[in-house]
């Protein structure tokens, strides 16, 4: 844009920078507050002294959380879920996006397949029939109940499909001329050329699995099989705090419910806070490129 | 004239039978094979539940299963219609979803216009990093945070209000406030992430248009009105029409983690209603009937919205 350097313009720029700064701070302020609470003594927290900086700095909440077996067990379930779920998601996304990115004259069944997949975004059977299906297929209360129903993330698949379509046709034709088949072309050409898009959908799929909590809640029969977010849901959201374990009783007196919850909230968000800044430039590029259509 | 050509043709070596000459003669079966695993899973876990929706028309009994429960027509639908809460739940869903759609459309557009005026690249990048962040946190985490900061006894929001002499407000337990909390927190979570598409649209506006506007004497404001906004119009129309298909989705994850029986009157939505009837009260047939009703209406709305998006913005899903 072309701008003139008038007083009004400078005033606008000044207030614009101020406004955007306030807006950005507002996005992380609640997190900073919860972080401060988690590092504060329970007395200071329950008295409401803690604002944006810890009061009576202490690690007792974290010590307490890290002593809890349930917490570790749920992290293990989540890690297992992310490892299996992400592999399945990525493999299926790539394998479906490639054929569907072909022109109809190169792959006649393309349109039919595409509709079969896209229709699942438009219509679903609802909660109870899904629960019944998971039950009838015998995966209830296992890690597969968290992986198989969302094995192909349709949105990610469409993103990658559109990215594949944006690659020059000449490359593919050259590969075919040289005798490469579909598998070789996909693996040796499409995948290496699509790293920004693949990084984007890897981020989305990982965050999706890390953050899912509802499926764990309904598909797992015993709380010992809950992934981290389902476990947190029962601790942080449901208001009855029952840790009537005798060994923990002494700790419980020191650790206020509020600081304890804050520590768990922060630990649940931590991996995302750590990974996300590094992937940001990929997903911004990936989303925009993936939505470009011919 | 014909003879030399045939002679010339004879000069070119004929390809042996069976050798491919054109790339599109490649066999298609590997493509089918690639799709097969995902197709099977989709058939079982997406189309299976669609067929399983028949229990909406049954007096479903888990012991007898889908195949042997007695068929009872529209009885479950009649039962739901007769419940006093049903209409309220549908209204709550519509009101909350529409409020979110409107505010959630305006805020990202405004913020992307403001971000577009920023010339310092590192500042822009920094703002983007911070405002995208809440999108990546789950509603369990954000619900936990909101419950803490909105607490009437020691929440920081009420502490700040106290400074202005306002009595503590129980935001999550008051029917007056609950919907606003939902809308504000949802927009807070998603506005940053939703600026991405608008920022992309802004960079694709032809700079020559701004030069022409300046020559015609347009100031910054006129440039925004007459160049920037028309340039963004297609993407705005697109997001608005696609949003139309979502008016029955008021945000299950958010509401489920924030609501309580005190605010069912204003905050209970179709999805949470289905959850309580189905998973808590174990009235499977009734819950499925409500879910099926929602899915069917959603399908209609989505079809209309995709059709409009196709006509107005030339949008195609794939």
ipTM of this complex > 0.90?
no
CB-CB neighbors (< 8 A) of A107 in chain B: 28, 31
Chain-chain contact of B292 with A126 (C-beta, under 8 angstroms)? yes
Tracing tokens 């309904």 back to the chain, one arrives at: A218
Give the DSSP letter of residue B260: -
pLDDT tens digit string along B93-142?
999 999 999 999 999 999 999 999 898 989 999 999 999 999 999 999 99
pLDDT of residue A287 exceeding 90, the answer is no
A-chain residue closest to B193, CA distance: A284
**Banded pLDDT at A288 (limits 50, 70, 90):** low
Length of chain A, in residues? 294
- With a cut of 90, say whether residue A243 has pLDDT above it: no
- The verdict on A252 and A194 lying in the same domain is no
Please say which residue of A191, A208, A223 terminates a domain.
A223
Collect all residues with Cβ–Cβ distance below 8 Å to B109 and sequence separation of at least 6: B198, B232, B236
Q: How far is B156 from chain A (nearest CA, A)?
A: 7
Quick one: pLDDT at residue B314? Answer: 80
Q: Which residues pair with B58 in a beta bridge?
A: B71
Task: Summarize pLDDT for A178-204 with one digit per residue, the tens.
Answer: 989 999 999 999 999 998 889 889 989
CATH of the domain at A190: 1.10.3720.10
| Annotated domain spans of chain B | 75-313
Residues of chain B neighbouring A1 (CB-CB closer than 8 A): 116-117, 207, 210, 220, 223
Residues A147-179 have pLDDT tens digits of 999 999 999 999 999 889 988 888 889 999 998
Give the per-residue pLDDT at B258.
95
Q: How confident is the model at residue A1 (pLDDT cuts 50, 70, 90)?
A: low
Any chain B CB within 8 A of the CB of A241?
no
pLDDT at A247 over 60: no
CB distance from B87 to chain A under 8 Å? no
Any CB–CB contact under 8 A between B278 and chain A?
Answer: yes
Domain that holds residue A179: 69-223
Same structural domain, A91 and A205: yes
Q: Which residues of B229-258 are buried (b: 16+ CB within 10 A; e: fewer)?
A: eebbeebbebbbbbbebbbbbbbbbbbbbb
Q: pTM (2 decimals)?
A: 0.88
Do A119 and A251 lie in one domain? The reply is: no
| Same-domain check for residues A46 and A93 | no
Alpha carbon of A177: minimum distance to chain B alpha carbons (Å): 7
Do A80 and A219 belong to one domain? yes
Residues A95 and A187 in one domain: yes
Q: How far apart are CA B163 and CA B156, in angstroms?
A: 11
- Check CB contact under 8 Å for B257 and A26: no
Q: Does A187 touch chain B (CB under 8 A)?
A: no
Lookup: tokens for B131: 């405002």
Is the pLDDT at B217 greater than 70, yes or no? yes
The verdict on A150 and A163 lying in the same domain is yes
Pick left, alpha or beta for residue A45 (phi over 0 → left; psi -120 to 50 → alpha; otherwise beta).
Answer: alpha
**A96 lies in the same domain as A210:** yes
Greater confidence (A241 vs A212) lies with A212
| Interface residue A140 vs chain B (CB under 8 A) | no
pLDDT of res. B274: 94
Specify whether A218 is located in the same domain as A146: yes
The number of distinct structural domains making up chain A is 2
Same domain, A12 and A142: no
CB contact under 8 A, A120 and B46: yes
The domain made up of B75-313 is a member of CATH 1.10.3720.10: yes
In terms of domains, do A60 and A73 share one? no
- Tens of pLDDT, residues A45-71: 888 888 888 988 999 889 988 888 889
* Residue A185 in domain: yes
């Amino acid at each position: 844009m072309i701008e003139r350097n008038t007083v009004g313009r400078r005033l606008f720029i000044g207030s614009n920078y101020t406004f955007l700064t306030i807006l950005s701070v507002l996005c992380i302020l609640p997190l900073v507050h919860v972080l401060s609470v988690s590092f504060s003594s329970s007395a200071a927290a329950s008295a409401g002294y803690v604002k944006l900086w810890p009061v009576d700095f202490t690690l007792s909440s974290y010590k307490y959380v890290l002593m809890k077996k349930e917490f570790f067990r749920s992290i293990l379930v989540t890690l297992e879920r992310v490892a299996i779920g992400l592999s399945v998601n990525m493999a299926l996304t790539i394998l479906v996006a490639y054929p569907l990115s072909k022109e109809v004259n190169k792959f006649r069944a393309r349109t039919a397949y595409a509709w079969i997949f896209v229709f699942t975004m438009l219509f679903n059977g609802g909660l109870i029939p899904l629960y019944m299906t998971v039950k009838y297929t015998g995966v209830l209360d296992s890690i597969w109940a968290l992986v198989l129903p969302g094995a192909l993330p349709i949105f990610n698949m469409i993103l990658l499909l559109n990215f594949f379509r944006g690659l020059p046709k000449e490359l593919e034709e050259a590969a075919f001329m040289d005798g490469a088949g579909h598998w070789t072309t996909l693996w040796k050409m499409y995948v290496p050329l699509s790293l920004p898009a693949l990084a984007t959908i890897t981020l989305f799929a990982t965050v999706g699995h890390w953050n899912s909590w509802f499926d764990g809640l309904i598909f797992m029969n015993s709380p010992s099989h809950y992934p981290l977010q389902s476990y947190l849901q029962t601790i942080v959201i449901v208001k009855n705090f029952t840790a009537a374990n005798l060994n923990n009783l002494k700790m419980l007196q020191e650790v206020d419910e509020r600081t304890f919850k804050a520590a768990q909230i922060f630990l649940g968000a931590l991996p995302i806070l750590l990974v996300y800044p590094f992937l940001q430039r990929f997903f911004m590029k990936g989303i925009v490129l993936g939505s470009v259509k011919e | 004239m014909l003879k030399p050509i045939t002679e010339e043709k004879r000069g070119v070596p004929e390809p042996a039978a069976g050798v491919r000459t054109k790339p599109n003669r490649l066999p298609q079966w590997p493509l089918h094979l690639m799709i097969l695993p995902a197709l099977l899973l989709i058939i079982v876990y997406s189309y299976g539940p669609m067929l399983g929706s028949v229990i909406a028309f049954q007096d479903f009994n888990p012991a007898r299963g889908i195949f042997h429960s007695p068929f009872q027509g529209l009885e479950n639908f009649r039962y739901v219609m007769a419940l006093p809460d049903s209409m309220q739940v549908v209204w709550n869903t519509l009101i909350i979803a529409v409020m979110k759609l409107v505010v959630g459309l305006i805020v990202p557009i405004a913020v992307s216009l403001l971000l577009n005026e920023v010339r310092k690249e590192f500042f822009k990048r920094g703002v983007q990093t911070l405002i995208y962040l809440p999108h990546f946190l789950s509603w369990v985490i954000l619900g936990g945070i909101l419950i803490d900061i909105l607490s009437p006894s020691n929440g920081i929001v009420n502490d700040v209000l106290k400074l202005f002499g306002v009595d503590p407000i129980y935001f999550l337990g008051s029917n007056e406030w609950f919907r606003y909390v939902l809308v504000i927190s949802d927009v807070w979570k998603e506005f940053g992430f939703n600026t991405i598409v608008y920022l992309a649209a802004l960079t694709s506006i032809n700079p020559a248009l701004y030069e022409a506007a300046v020559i015609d004497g347009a100031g910054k404001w006129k440039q925004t009105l007459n160049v920037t906004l028309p340039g963004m119009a297609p993407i705005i129309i697109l997001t608005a029409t696609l949003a139309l298909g979502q008016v029955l989705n008021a945000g299950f994850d958010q509401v489920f983690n924030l609501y309580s029986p005190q605010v069912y009157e204003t905050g209970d939505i179709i999805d949470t209603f289905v959850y309580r009837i189905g998973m808590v009260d174990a009235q499977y047939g009734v819950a499925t009937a409500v879910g099926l009703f929602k899915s069917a209406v959603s399908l209609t709305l989505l079809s209309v919205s995709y059709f409009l998006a196709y006509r107005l913005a030339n949008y195609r899903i794939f």
